[in-house]
């Protein structure tokens, strides 16, 4: 069965970036180890043991248009999984990565449904935390919350859960792994009655 996992690297005070979309030291742990994940990342052996299988399980990633534009669509290659679903009220940019496995949809519910269809039953759907992830979470569409917590305090910026303004309960973490300058946590979401 497909699991929808909301994920991002986060500061201990709950921010995925500052107000100017800068991540500061949040991603430094992707370069502080001796195990190569890809051409951009070398992590500790402990982190690699967690990150590799988690990434391999993702079939489709859901992001917002802002993240898509900031990354230039990762050069036409999804950063994880085989497909990228982009939540946007604007159409796919013409001429930009025309053959890339990118799917543009209007809303979060439609994005999760499309991502599940593309991922299939044996793969997971990843949802980028922030505004889109927070919306999916508030709609009850997220099964698990995955956080790579970095020991830094931002004080303000872009929140992990976006604009979620209600109380939600998570189960106790079922994954707790101490990496080098990062703590990998994973929680199942308690379904609301």
Residues 49-96: tens digit of each pLDDT: 999 999 999 999 999 999 999 999 999 999 999 999 999 999 898 888
Altogether, the residues listed in the chain come to a count of: 193
Contact 132, 63 (CB under 8 A): yes
Closest CA to 93 of 102, 81, 80: 102
Distance from the Cα of residue 68 to its chain's centroid: 12
Strand-pair category, 124-128 with 58-64: parallel
pLDDT at 122: 94
Under DSSP, is residue 43 helix (H, G, I), strand (E, B) or coil?
Answer: strand
pLDDT tens digits for 35-57? 999 888 999 999 999 999 999 99
Cα-trace Rg, the chain: 16
């Amino acid at each position: 069965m497909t699991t929808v996992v909301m994920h991002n690297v986060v500061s201990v005070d709950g921010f995925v970036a500052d107000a100017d979309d800068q991540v500061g030291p949040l991603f430094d742990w992707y370069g502080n180890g001796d195990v190569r994940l890809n051409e951009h990342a070398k992590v500790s052996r402990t982190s690699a043991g967690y990150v590799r299988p988690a990434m391999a399980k993702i079939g489709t990633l859901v992001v917002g248009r802002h993240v898509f534009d900031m990354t230039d669509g990762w050069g036409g290659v999804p950063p994880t999984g085989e497909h990228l679903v982009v939540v946007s009220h604007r159409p796919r940019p013409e001429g930009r990565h025309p053959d890339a496995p990118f799917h543009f949809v209007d809303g979060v519910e439609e994005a999760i449904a499309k991502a599940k269809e593309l991922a299939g039953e044996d793969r997971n759907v990843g949802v980028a935390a922030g505004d889109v992830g927070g919306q999916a979470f508030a709609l009850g569409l997220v099964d698990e919350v995955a956080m790579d917590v970095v020991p830094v305090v931002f004080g303000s910026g872009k929140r992990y859960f976006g604009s979620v303004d209600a109380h939600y309960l998570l189960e106790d973490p079922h994954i707790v792994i101490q990496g080098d300058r990062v703590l990998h946590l994973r929680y199942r979401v308690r379904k609301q009655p």
